[in-house]
Amino acid sequence: AQSVTQLGSHVSVSEGALVLLRCNYSSSVPPYLFWYVQYPNQGLQLLLKYTTGATLVKGINGFEAEFKKSETSFHLTKPSAHMSDAAEYFCAVSDGLTGGGNKLTFGTGTQLKVEL
């Protein structure tokens, strides 16, 4: 069974500061990993994904994440936070097998607050 742990349900940073949102996963097979963002009153938007290949993945809006197999981690970072980054972020994992390869297991989410 897969699972995702997001450390910190709320993270607050100053505008211009580094954003670091933590995600650890467990999976019995090489996983597919995702970060989704949810802006207030909106659906989920895919930020970035890791499937195979390069372990450092770049996404939209200046975000990136690094897949570290030895640490079972997929932390999300952005060098300089912007006010528009304030949102809830979800890490998700798929094993490519469950549900015909399409099931996503989500973490509990991290609410990012950006302060002036």
Q: Which is nearer to other proteins, 73 or 110 (CB)?
A: 110
* String of contacts with other proteins for each residue 42-81, x by CB under 8 A: xxxxx--x-x------------------------------
Burial of residue 102 (CB within 10 Å: 0-12, 13-18, 19+) is: exposed
Does 22 contact other proteins by CB under 8 A?
no
Q: Which is nearer to other proteins, 1 or 16 (CB)?
A: 1
CB atoms within 10 A of CB 5: 14
Burial of residue 29 (CB within 10 Å: 0-12, 13-18, 19+) is: exposed
What is the SS3 assignment for 70? coil
Q: Amino acid identity of 35?
A: W
* String of contacts with other proteins for each residue 79-108, x by CB under 8 A: -----------x-x-x-xx-xxxxxx-xxx
Q: Which is nearer to other proteins, 69 or 82 (CB)?
A: 69
